[in-house]
Structure 1
């Protein structure tokens, strides 16, 4: 139990009707979860407006309502608080309710189009190897010390974030590494959190279904760095032109990393093979099991964060060399017939281009590169023809198929992809709506030493069709098919 006035500390309030000196049991923004003496926060959403459920929440026992617009009829005995921004109010209230857990550990947020999951997971694993108690909030999973919880969003809602951070406090966690999505920033889910550092990986075409323009997408990411405290660091990739934009107005310590530009942390790729990377990081050589130039950036960001937290250089390099790839990120295996199958989460044009260029850099050119790729439904449609063009240009054969069609017709999604294929690449592409059949066809095409890339879903173990998540694991499927098809 906690006093409402204490939960509202630092919230921007326009008006109050009722008594804020009342004990609160819990906070909810879903009216279905409200029970006696809870606070209901009415969140205006794109599909559902929480203000429409204020009456239901009060009937369920809510003692207070936080909203952006007071209802026409106020119920006696209920406290109504009108706020500037309900999303931000919820985030600040969540921090207060859980006793501001982010202040009791070193929280680092990682944002960017690609690399968030890899960087946060590698940081979690490196600091764990260094002997620290560590937390992780990622797209793939949530880790509180050694205990794993399932992840539901790239950046969870603010109540969930603070709940996990409080669990981390209870477990004595010292560092937490967290993915920060543009949706999470825009919806104020990270408001009220105290960050010790922020990392910017890169920015490319994604989420334009939500942000409408690239400038809006970029500026949303920038807000995260604008709000970092003076005590934090802002580590940015300056090989990406948006890196310098991110830190224009930050109060945090500005730090840079790059492979091609002048930066505080520099890396050079000495060797790039399917077995790993040999890197020169700030004049020190280190071998990594990870593959590709995009992972050179990820590893350099991890090294920089470790150094900023004053982990020893020799120890950090040793831990870097021991790190393994993250599930669904350039995860590969080689069949008995010497066919290499690679599964990667690449679901943006830039990520797909990076993976294909990495494979083409490593391969001799005598092998065929067969790419299976789709695009998600109910998401940014403008990237569909772009991704198809990249796949058909950089592959020997491109098979267009379903990703997570969600509520869209998968055939229409594929048709929008096909529109991006240039005439000289028509004969290199085929379309197969059924994803398993598409992967099976790739396996049938492949011969010894060929490479199959299955892009888009990576770590996901399901395929979402019309609101139903059906079991589907790209890596598991291609392993089984390569064994059975090639018998």
Structure 2
């Protein structure tokens, strides 16, 4: 998915039709060959959009953009006053970030309008849900494209994802490529950052799914109310007037709040949003009981999930190799979207059965005889609790968990994750995750505070793992060593969980970025033991 060098120039006046309060008659027309908010990407004929960011203000780079040959700039309200560059058109908008998305969509001919758009938001479950829906849509004869945390993919094209939701210019370019190559449905993970920063401006979704909400990203949002407000925008600002909202309920966070039920109630209460159930937007709730998509019976094992689900299109007998109650929640949400998309019951069931496993989401990896080793992306207190509670029920021997926390991120969740791990696992091994610019030892001390709160004893890892019926924790800063020693001393019946990094193939430290893959490290240790 590279730059399309064959894009024709677009009239500035045509682009400006997307914007509010622009006098087109007084606007000097220009041929716009590219749009960017990055002054480093400006070239001849560019439209440069100056966006105030968290650390950098694009308005400080207007002179740079002019010198590099831009044809026009778009700035904040009142910023064109005194504009000195007569050969460069200047447009004003009260919200340049929103304008960037609108302009990018128009520049590429609104590609999203040629496809069915499905937006998925929530703290956990987004990635797994895209894999489930991708399989269901293929069963129904569609051609899905996915924009998500692991990668951006369609047909045989697949590239790693630098961000869950790309910047507006990249996003519209990717959507245009998908539309040109026959994609019928786009499954997009819409992060709270993307919604807050207007990266999806210029898009309207046919279906939107809310998976859940629990503590995460509070370094960006500040508190849970702001985090929730960002997620809610998908359903209030970006869903089509006749779109369908699928909301998973019955999922409480660490404080006992069911954000799904709250979202459902607020959408129903605001009559201006048009969630009437007759004409306009439609609400479809999912949960364990008392919802339109609900569980009648379910059986879980380390081999997968079998469930009977009640739905508006009849009872469905679902089978999946996904493990755990939290994955049953993902299955319910995916079924809700399938119903909203009018996929037939048989195609929904077949799609779930044949779905590819999402990389790094409770992914089983090679292990020594009798031992089960899983890699999971859980990096928030709620996600860690979900996977540990599931494995606790299914583990015959000991439950061993290896995890850390990322640096330069919400510090408040670190002791919470330590407390969760110490309460649910038999052995906790604290190790480095992506410390980024922080001191790894300081991060580990923050996590350890949660273990000390519940008085879990600390012991040397080898002693901890070789003694009978011993519970406790140790700190092993080297992630490679932590994985090696834990798997080496695991016994038959034990389950080893490597949490936090999932599909990631790198580790970011104060010294730089290095290749590291939990799955390969675990498999390498298993191979040595099996040999």
TM-score of the two chains, using structure 1 as the length reference: 0.96
Residues 140-179 of structure 1 mapped to structure 2, 5 A cutoff: 140-179=150-189
Q: Say yes or no: does 1:57 pair with 2:65.
A: yes
CA contact (8 A) 2:371 2:494 kept: yes
From 233, 236, 241, the equivalent of 1:226 is: 236
- Change in Cα spacing, 1:37 to 1:48, as seen in structure 2 (3 Å) is same
From 423, 440, 455, the equivalent of 2:499 is: 455
Shift of 1:268: 4.0
- Change in Cα spacing, 1:400 to 1:43, as seen in structure 2 (3 Å) is same
Shift of 1:121: 2.1
Report the 3-state secondary structure (helix = DSSP H, G, I; strand = E; otherwise coil) of the residue aligned with 1:286.
strand
Q: Say yes or no: does 1:11 pair with 2:25.
A: no
Residues 117-196 of structure 1 mapped to structure 2, 5 A cutoff: 117-196=127-206
Report the 3-state secondary structure (helix = DSSP H, G, I; strand = E; otherwise coil) of the residue aligned with 2:241.
coil
Q: Say yes or no: does 1:317 pair with 2:349.
A: yes
CA contact (8 A) 1:155 1:179 kept: yes
CA contact (8 A) 1:235 1:257 kept: yes
Which digits, 9 at most, give the CA deviation of each residue in 1:345-370, with x for residues without a partner? 00011110000000011123xx1111
User: 1: CA distance between counterparts of 2:155 and 2:66?
Assistant: 38
From 259, 270, 279, the equivalent of 1:242 is: 259
User: 1: CA distance between counterparts of 2:46 and 2:150?
Assistant: 31
User: 1: CA distance between counterparts of 2:20 and 2:10?
Assistant: 19
From 402, 411, 433, the equivalent of 2:441 is: 411
Instruction: Between 465-474 and 324-333, report the one with greater CA deviation.
Output: 465-474
Q: Say yes or no: does 1:96 pair with 2:126.
A: no
Report the 3-state secondary structure (helix = DSSP H, G, I; strand = E; otherwise coil) of the residue aligned with 1:419.
helix
Shift of 1:15: 8.3
Q: Counterpart of 1:105?
A: 115
CA contact (8 A) 1:182 1:221 kept: yes
User: 1: CA distance between counterparts of 2:89 and 2:358?
Assistant: 48
CA contact (8 A) 2:213 2:259 kept: yes
Report the 3-state secondary structure (helix = DSSP H, G, I; strand = E; otherwise coil) of the residue aligned with 2:307.
strand
- Change in Cα spacing, 1:70 to 1:411, as seen in structure 2 (3 Å) is farther
Report the 3-state secondary structure (helix = DSSP H, G, I; strand = E; otherwise coil) of the residue aligned with 1:425.
coil
Shift of 1:42: 0.8
User: 2: CA distance between counterparts of 1:267 and 1:372?
Assistant: 32
User: 1: CA distance between counterparts of 2:503 and 2:174?
Assistant: 22
Shift of 1:477: 0.2
Q: Say yes or no: does 1:290 pair with 2:290.
A: no
CA contact (8 A) 1:269 1:296 kept: no
- Change in Cα spacing, 1:347 to 1:15, as seen in structure 2 (3 Å) is farther
Report the 3-state secondary structure (helix = DSSP H, G, I; strand = E; otherwise coil) of the residue aligned with 2:183.
coil
Report the 3-state secondary structure (helix = DSSP H, G, I; strand = E; otherwise coil) of the residue aligned with 1:280.
strand
Q: Counterpart of 2:294?
A: 266
From 14, 29, 48, the equivalent of 2:56 is: 48
Report the 3-state secondary structure (helix = DSSP H, G, I; strand = E; otherwise coil) of the residue aligned with 2:410.
coil
Instruction: Between 188-197 and 72-81, report the one with greater CA deviation.
Output: 72-81
Shift of 1:397: 0.6
Q: Say yes or no: does 1:29 pair with 2:25.
A: no
Report the 3-state secondary structure (helix = DSSP H, G, I; strand = E; otherwise coil) of the residue aligned with 2:261.
helix
User: 2: CA distance between counterparts of 1:404 and 1:47?
Assistant: 22
- Change in Cα spacing, 1:266 to 1:20, as seen in structure 2 (3 Å) is farther
CA contact (8 A) 1:369 1:397 kept: yes
Residues 330-409 of structure 1 mapped to structure 2, 5 A cutoff: 330-364=362-396, 367-409=397-439
Report the 3-state secondary structure (helix = DSSP H, G, I; strand = E; otherwise coil) of the residue aligned with 1:123.
helix
From 483, 502, 505, the equivalent of 1:439 is: 483
User: 2: CA distance between counterparts of 1:383 and 1:486?
Assistant: 37
CA contact (8 A) 1:454 1:474 kept: yes
User: 2: CA distance between counterparts of 1:121 and 1:321?
Assistant: 11
Q: Counterpart of 1:67?
A: 75
Which digits, 9 at most, give the CA deviation of each residue in 1:220-253, with x for residues without a partner? 1111111122211000012142223334244321
Structure 2: give runs of 5+ residues left out of the alignment: 1-8, 252-257, 275-280, 459-471
Report the 3-state secondary structure (helix = DSSP H, G, I; strand = E; otherwise coil) of the residue aligned with 2:242.
coil
Number of residue equivalences: 484
Instruction: Between 228-237 and 208-217, report the one with greater CA deviation.
Output: 228-237
Report the 3-state secondary structure (helix = DSSP H, G, I; strand = E; otherwise coil) of the residue aligned with 1:230.
strand
Structure 1: give runs of 5+ residues left out of the alignment: none
User: 1: CA distance between counterparts of 2:101 and 2:119?
Assistant: 16
Report the 3-state secondary structure (helix = DSSP H, G, I; strand = E; otherwise coil) of the residue aligned with 1:10.
coil
User: 2: CA distance between counterparts of 1:391 and 1:314?
Assistant: 40
- Change in Cα spacing, 1:96 to 1:433, as seen in structure 2 (3 Å) is same
Report the 3-state secondary structure (helix = DSSP H, G, I; strand = E; otherwise coil) of the residue aligned with 1:433.
coil
TM-score of the two chains, using structure 2 as the length reference: 0.88
From 299, 303, 311, the equivalent of 1:275 is: 303
- Change in Cα spacing, 1:62 to 1:371, as seen in structure 2 (3 Å) is same
Shift of 1:296: 0.7
